Chains A and B, each alone.
Chain A
Amino acid sequence: MKKFNILDLCIEIETKTSFHCEVYDGIHGDHTILIKPNQLKPVIDVILESFEYCHLSAITVQQRNDQPDEIEVFYNFWSGSGFSLMLKLPVESAKLPSIISTIPGADFYEREAAEMFGIEFTGRNETPPLLLPDDWDQGPPFIAKKEKNG
């Protein structure tokens, strides 16, 4: 496999989609590119074209306790070495386009992200829960509960 270079990938994305890519250095071990939610599908198309072999390893979601208003979503890929796409979404109305039409394997990961963090994936028929029971009524388990006012 070709030696992976994150800057090459950024150049590919910028040429093909004219989005500007920021490289995020926070993660030890994987190169990460920061993008906006509406850029997700085109960037993924570019990624799938650029590499001979590439698969989606996981969709990781987290809420930083020092920034409780937003959640971060990582799309982790593997193609000879690992790299990720990072997006930031507001907690209250987290919406992302679903990528199951291009990567069917993302189905389980999207369902888990939806039930655990309350993210809404647009473009899918339904997002049934994956791991939580059918009668779970206590809301997304990972989102810090807000104190009720008055």
Chain B
Amino acid sequence: MDKISIPIGPQHPLLKEPLSMMVDIAGEKVLGGSLRLGYVHRGIERLAQQRTYVQNVHLIERICGICSHVHTTAYCYAVEALLGIEIPPRAQYIRALMCELERIHSHLLWLGILAKHIGLETIFMHTWHDREMALDIMEEISGGRVSHAANQIGGVRFDLDEEHIDMIRGILKKLHSQVDGLVDIIETEPAAMARTKGVAPISPDMIKAYGVVGPVARASGVDIDLRRDAPLPPYDQLEVKVVTHPGGDAWARTFVRAEETRVSLNLCEKILEDLPEGDVSLRTPRRVPEGEVIIRAEAPRGELFYYLRSDGSDKPARLKVRTPTLATLSLLPVQLAEINVADIPVVLAGVDLCIACADR
């Protein structure tokens, strides 16, 4: 069979965001591929140097739509570390609540996309319908479904009163039972297993060599989770169950993400139970003293790395962001060798792309 190169992207039904891949195929077998990023590069790091710390909270939120809150959380913790302040515990818990809700909504989004790509459109419709419940909670709390603007330097922007908390608990209970049903279906559905078992296995050595993090790493048996290993408060007081699976193939990644959704739901309920009293924010000075800090946070897709340097003025001197998708994408051309054409959607869904994060 002759080798032909098919372009996937920048616009393609498979991709939510623009990414250019050239995949070489012969018949129904894929021989390899190459990628080109940069279609949504906005120069966030350079822009951050021209804006004040407060303006940057709004800029950082727009790095990504799906994991916007964890970006601002990491940034705010970085600035607060340089200022030498610790925010009130109630604010820490509310930040964690929004982080976990974001993880749930991101994983449900991913689950729908995976189901749609293997042809289970009904599961896709049901999953996104239930994801709306998580987005409803976030909208009730913060006013926005995906762009929450929840964080500010020194705490969070809003408080939760008793009525809010009861309402959130009600929706969480419904969501929990729906997610349990969905996760059971996807873990036992024979078609899903047939399409994902044995597809594109990754060994733990490859994970280490490529620096892959997050659910993809945990699906190859590598036991890393920043919520347990380098916890930002209040995760040091919450017990996080880390889900791993030794398989390394697309099925293992499906399993890990599905179970993580359940773990996050339990964490949300625990956070609401333990929510301490107090203020939700502190007043902070505009100028940040000189210093450098590194903060790592566990985004839905893995380890989010922030380096921030301040030179004493009110604008950062250097902000460096390394998003988890960038690490996972470097493994993609390797994963694309030796699979069938029909497995390309499964492999892409397993990577859980967030190109806006990778490009910044």
Contacts and interface: CB of A to CB of B under 8 A. Distances in A.
Are A and B physically bound partners?
yes
Contact of B37 (A29, A55, A58, A131): A131
A78 B294 contact: no
Given A27-B293, A58-B322, A82-B294, 11 more contacts: A28-B294, A29-B81, A55-B211, A57-B305, A58-B305, A58-B307, A62-B309, A82-B230, A104-B210, A105-B330, A108-B329
Interface of A: 1, 26-30, 53-58, 60-62, 64-66, 74, 76, 78, 80-82, 84, 103-109, 129-133, 141-142
A27 B211 contact: no
Contact of A78 (B43, B207, B291, B296): B296
B97 interface: no
Nearest to A66: B311
B194 interface: no
Name the 10 nearest CB pairs between A and B, nearest first: A105-B211, A105-B210, A58-B322, A28-B293, A131-B38, A131-B41, A55-B211, A62-B318, A29-B294, A30-B294
Nearest to A61: B320
A65 B49 CA distance: 12
Contacts of A65: 311, 317
Contacts of B293: 27-29
B208 A55 contact: yes
B296 A82 contact: yes
Nearest to B206: A104
B174 interface: no
A84 B320 CA distance: 14
Contacts of B344: none
A106 B327 CA distance: 9
A1 B223 CA distance: 10
B301 to A, nearest CB: 14
A84 B38 contact: no
Contacts of B330: 104-105, 107-108
B209 interface: yes
Residue with the highest number of chain A CB atoms closer than 10 Å, among B41, B213, B327, B360: B327
Nearest to B324: A57
B212 A105 contact: yes
Contact of B320 (A30, A60, A82, A103): A60
B295 interface: yes
Contacts of A55: 207-208, 211-213
A56 to B, nearest CB: 5
A54 B318 CA distance: 26
A103 to B, nearest CB: 6
Interface in B217-258: 222, 224, 229-230
Contacts of A76: 294, 305, 307, 322
A81 B208 CA distance: 15
Contacts of B209: 103-105
B208 A54 contact: yes
A62 B320 contact: yes
A131 B357 CA distance: 12
Contacts of A103: 209, 211
Contacts of B43: 141
Contacts of B307: 58, 60, 74, 76
Contacts of B212: 55, 105
B143 to A, nearest CB: 32
B82 interface: yes
B314 interface: no
Contact of A56 (B82, B211, B291): B211
B259 interface: no
Contacts of B327: 105, 108
